[in-house]
Amino acid sequence: MKWTCDNCNSTNVQVKMWVMVNEENEHNESVSDGESEDNWCNDCETHCKLNYK
Protein backbone atom coordinates (compact mmCIF):
# COMPACT_ATOMS: atom_id res chain seq x y z
CA MET A 1 0.00 0.00 0.00
CA LYS A 2 1.40 3.36 -1.05
CA TRP A 3 0.17 6.87 -1.60
CA THR A 4 0.14 7.74 -5.28
CA CYS A 5 -0.63 10.80 -7.38
CA ASP A 6 -4.10 10.81 -8.91
CA ASN A 7 -2.75 12.41 -12.09
CA CYS A 8 0.25 10.25 -12.96
CA ASN A 9 0.23 7.40 -10.38
CA SER A 10 3.68 8.46 -9.17
CA THR A 11 4.71 7.55 -5.62
CA ASN A 12 6.97 10.64 -5.57
CA VAL A 13 4.42 12.62 -3.57
CA GLN A 14 4.45 14.76 -0.44
CA VAL A 15 1.92 15.88 2.14
CA LYS A 16 2.02 18.72 4.66
CA MET A 17 3.25 17.64 8.10
CA TRP A 18 3.47 19.14 11.55
CA VAL A 19 7.00 18.92 12.94
CA MET A 20 7.72 18.92 16.67
CA VAL A 21 10.53 21.48 16.76
CA ASN A 22 11.34 20.92 20.46
CA GLU A 23 11.61 17.16 20.25
CA GLU A 24 14.90 15.46 19.51
CA ASN A 25 13.10 12.64 17.81
CA GLU A 26 10.81 14.55 15.53
CA HIS A 27 7.29 13.24 15.41
CA ASN A 28 5.61 14.02 12.14
CA GLU A 29 1.89 13.98 11.72
CA SER A 30 -0.10 14.68 8.61
CA VAL A 31 -2.13 17.89 8.77
CA SER A 32 -3.95 17.18 5.58
CA ASP A 33 -7.68 16.63 5.78
CA GLY A 34 -7.66 15.25 2.27
CA GLU A 35 -7.65 18.56 0.46
CA SER A 36 -5.56 18.38 -2.69
CA GLU A 37 -3.90 21.70 -1.85
CA ASP A 38 -2.11 19.91 1.04
CA ASN A 39 -0.64 17.37 -1.35
CA TRP A 40 2.20 17.76 -3.81
CA CYS A 41 3.45 15.56 -6.65
CA ASN A 42 7.14 15.95 -7.50
CA ASP A 43 6.59 14.46 -10.95
CA CYS A 44 3.61 16.60 -12.00
CA GLU A 45 5.00 19.50 -9.94
CA THR A 46 1.46 20.35 -8.97
CA HIS A 47 -1.01 19.99 -6.13
CA CYS A 48 -2.89 16.79 -6.63
CA LYS A 49 -5.29 14.31 -5.17
CA LEU A 50 -3.61 11.30 -3.55
CA ASN A 51 -4.78 7.72 -3.76
CA TYR A 52 -3.83 5.07 -1.21
CA LYS A 53 -3.58 1.71 -2.84
**41 belongs to the binding site for Zn ion (CB under 5 A):** yes
**44 belongs to the binding site for Zn ion (CB under 5 A):** yes
Task: Give the residue, chosen from 1, 2, 5, 32, that forms a contact with Zn ion under the rule CB under 5 A.
Answer: 5
Residue 26 CB, nearest approach to Zn ion (Å) = 26
Contact segment (CB under 5 A) with Zn ion among 9-17, 18-26, 27-35 equals 9-17
- Residues 52 and 20: beta-carbon distance below 8 Å: no
Backbone angles phi, psi at 34, to 5 degrees: 95, -5
